[in-house]
Chains A and B, each alone.
Chain A
């Protein structure tokens, strides 16, 4: 039995959450330091895990742990990560300390004591790790639902005036999705029990690796697929089940929004890969045309709504609807470029959206208003804030040189390879993104300085320190995304094998000898 890396990353933050709650007081510096320390320790474990991860391994999952949990259901406590899981686990543990540091003073005046905010944050981190690491469908479902508890309290307890309404709306959507998925989870059990004859161990099972061996048949596979897909589409969120997201980010604190949009929403697209394509390849291919249409609508619709938003957190939420459209598009075009791009996109979107939510959060808390029209000329009084805002915005519009470019470009290439029309519509997103980001920047940061913002302070050391690692990653990964791609690519190859798709050959065959020195990078 090797060291239970993933369990440590799962339970360490939860234990930290308990410690924060048990410590006396309402929310002193000590609580925050314990929370930050715990998240940093978890990050350290995560870094060690990432270094030990073997991208050349042929195993489906690494750092696997497996214990029988509820035998009669065939449920296991089974953890493990492939390249996709690893990148999302890493995203979670990178963003948690960033969010905790950035939210240092955001928990005052909430419904509960500030320490509850940090405890819930840590609990959320641990459960999110669980979601991305679960290799048992039942365990995944439990974590999937369990993450709702901390995020619900974070939204409903510590946000703006509309938080109560927003948290309920969020919960209703999530529960609806969860219930639909539950039906499919049960269905999986039924099918697994029916197909048990082929397995040595006997009995039903929820292990993903075992379920993947079952041929569910056309009809059953499609129904089960739909149950999962709808839940994930709500989570992601896609048009037309997206409206909970802007309402939620409008009410939530910036830190909560980051954990929600950058991390938890990824469960949706992660689930599409891990469960929809992995377990139901035939049904996924069957659904592709419709999913692509919805993805493209999400891209354009989200971007247009973002342009029309005056409320900054709502605007960012809509940009995410657009970005999730790109991710879903990349997944379902089912070729190397699309899938690698989508996987990379999940990570990069997490970074860029985190930067955007946090820096605008600092801006909003200084002015006491989230409306774009209440700002103007901030650059003059707070140049560092403006500069970081611009970089975060440029990463959101996928400027080459910043990490989101590679992912968006790959998705566009993959989409173009699948359908010229789909790509042509999707690519309009790059123009709309320039409009929503730069229009926001223009109206808040440039022009004559308004009286209301004339006394605004520039970012302090803590705020810059919270954002710096994210910005640094955005720049480094923009030029050198290889660390991510080297773990993602094997997973993509596996997925392509699962759905039995091959990349189309180019019209002109690649030369074998000429240009070999240029192609050498492919073999590095």
Chain B
């Protein structure tokens, strides 16, 4: 038994009230984009003309339903906001039964709005971005598939259902990273993402198995109701296995290396999947499993450590990248590190993890789409050393990107200020060292984001020949504006601590954390650190000439950061190379020892027996003979026994 006195109270159990009224529409949220994907992918060329419109309409339809559901939910009493829609029984063996059930509660409601809302904007943006791609219909089919799978992931009421969505988004991610698969680099990146995610899936498979063995069920309702009765060993085991799963999907150390390569995909994909939604699934998994994590200090400590390592690692990588998308990808890693860290803080941090996940979804999608807009105007060049002075050429992109920049820095009153401050405060209240990590991360974030802004929008023009930057069409800039508005005002969710109160029935109540100093002082300290980061960037990047080619003579730290802190090098040396050598050896072993042994035996036998050789020459008669001989032996043996 866990030490119950250490808890304020037991983690809340997941409710299971059946759906009625508007909530019976729940399945449609998934069905619309799923249908869109099916029509586009199976319909073939016939749907080329209108496919992208259908796909966009499907997601917007889901968004509208999500809004209706959300307001229906807010209309209910706060104790009555968890509904379950039973669709059908997936499989049953022995006492183990898994249903296709959808759980709609305060947590999934927030995600539903994020996924379908940001998803709709990105669909609209992609109409413009992918206009000249001959395979645009297929792109939209994959995007719809992704949205459907992501909705399964966050609506499933059972860990196995989560697994379905989990791998579904993995598949969509694989297809979209490798969308331009004629490029070997894109195909390789897609495969890498899938394989590394599968390593994480080991955690989800075994974690689910352990949950079943511990609770006899994998539904959230049963597990949350019984988690306080489970042994601490089982809880810690489950927690660590789920953490492994989260590391894969959310690109956390040590499974982070796929995310940077994933930038091979079209930019709207990077915005939707690899910034706003899919990569945050790991955070969702931990927060959803709060009834496990709240009861296991050990697993939570591991979560915090992983979060801290990744938030610093991602920030450092972001500092050294000249590729605008990779710099943003490093930043995504780092920001998800913050969320994971917050989730590891337990009931004090769950709500802030989700809050930051939301605001990050807004401002990072905003900046990725902004980067896409820049690339659109720069002939798909991603190298920031070829940018410069773009603020005049692309005023809307610059303005919206700028708001995203202020939001991620945590400048008040933009969205990131509210969410990131909360995390850093809570981290300090938990442990000084953890808080320090989060604080330093904020400073480094300010540095790399300022560097990115300066390289792209300020300074001298460093454009290649024949590049004529221009503002993107309205179909692309309107989504940017919408996301910029959200990045600016997304922080309002925390007004009157709305988000914490809203999520409390799902993730549990917690008392006010005790910070040694007033919150306003903490905020000022954070702002000073951020300002420091900005100042250093202005000094190092803004006041010097930017060379067109990245300088070779740089410190070991820069070199390490450019090499993604040697994540790939480590994998290559420790896993890939020995693995390839081992498989080669195994092939020889299979041929010469396993197979050779048997063949040698056969040869030896045939040498002894001339009759046996008849068997080997492969003619019908020898086989007939063998059958006959076999049958004769049977008959004689049987007769001998029967009449003997």
Residues on A close to B: CB < 8 A? Answer: 72-73, 145, 148-149, 152, 156, 164-165, 167-169, 171-173, 175, 178-179, 182, 185-186, 189-190, 193, 204, 239-243, 301, 304-305, 307-309, 335-337, 339-341, 377, 379-380, 387, 394, 399-401, 405-406, 409-410, 412-413, 416-417, 423-424, 427-428, 430-431, 434-435, 438-439, 441-442, 445-449, 479-482, 485, 489, 492, 503-511, 514-515, 517-522, 524
Contact = CB atoms under 8 A, between A and B. Distances in A.
A444 to B, nearest CB: 11
A511 B86 CA distance: 19
Interface string B153-168: 0000100100110111
23 contacts: A165-B618, A168-B617, A186-B638, A243-B598, A308-B587, A337-B96, A379-B181, A409-B208, A413-B212, A427-B205, A428-B202, A439-B191, A446-B178, A446-B182, A446-B184, A447-B187, A489-B93, A509-B226, A515-B219, A518-B16, A521-B86, A521-B98, A524-B89
Contacts of A431: 195, 198-199, 201-202
Given A149-B623, A489-B92, 4 more contacts: A186-B634, A399-B167, A409-B205, A520-B86
B194 A434 contact: yes
A175 B628 CA distance: 12
Nearest to A376: B184
A522 B213 contact: no
B431 interface: no
Contacts of A448: 182, 184
Nearest to A506: B216
Contacts of A503: 94-95
A301 B41 CA distance: 36
Contact of B634 (A182, A309, A449, A518): A182
B225 interface: yes
Contact of B184 (A413, A427, A447): A447
A438 B184 contact: no
Contacts of B41: 387
A340 B94 contact: yes
Contacts of A514: 13, 16, 221-222, 225
B74 interface: no
Contacts of A511: 222, 225-226
**CB-based closest 9 A-B pairs:** A336-B94, A521-B89, A506-B216, A446-B187, A340-B93, A243-B595, A416-B209, A522-B97, A308-B583
Interface in B587-621: 587, 590, 594-595, 597-599, 602, 615-618
A517 B171 contact: no
Contacts of B623: 148-149, 152, 171
B630 interface: yes
B412 interface: no
Contacts of B13: 514
B210 A304 contact: no
A442 to B, nearest CB: 5
A412 B209 contact: yes
Given A307-B583, A336-B94, A507-B213, A178 B630 contact: yes
B35 interface: no
A500 to B, nearest CB: 15
Contacts of A423: 206, 209
Contacts of A424: 206
A185 B634 contact: yes
A518 B86 contact: yes
A108 B152 CA distance: 48
Interface string B58-93: 000000000000000000000000001010111111
A149 B623 CA distance: 8
Nearest to A149: B623
Contacts of B231: 507
A430 B225 contact: no
Contacts of A409: 160, 163, 205, 208
Contacts of A165: 618
Contacts of B171: 394, 399
Given A507-B231, A514-B225, A442 B634 contact: no
Contact of A508 (B198, B221, B230): B230
Contacts of A435: 195
B206 A427 contact: yes
B199 A510 contact: no
A164 B595 CA distance: 17
A431 B89 CA distance: 28
B495 to A, nearest CB: 35
Interface string B247-264: 000000000000000000
B214 A507 contact: yes
A446 B189 CA distance: 12
A227 B559 CA distance: 63
B226 A401 contact: no
A182 B638 CA distance: 11
B627 interface: yes
B569 interface: no
A234 to B, nearest CB: 10
Nearest to B170: A399
Nearest to B237: A420
Contact of B590 (A189, A305, A442, A447): A305
A326 to B, nearest CB: 12
A144 to B, nearest CB: 11
B212 A506 contact: yes
B421 interface: no
B627 A145 contact: yes
B586 interface: yes
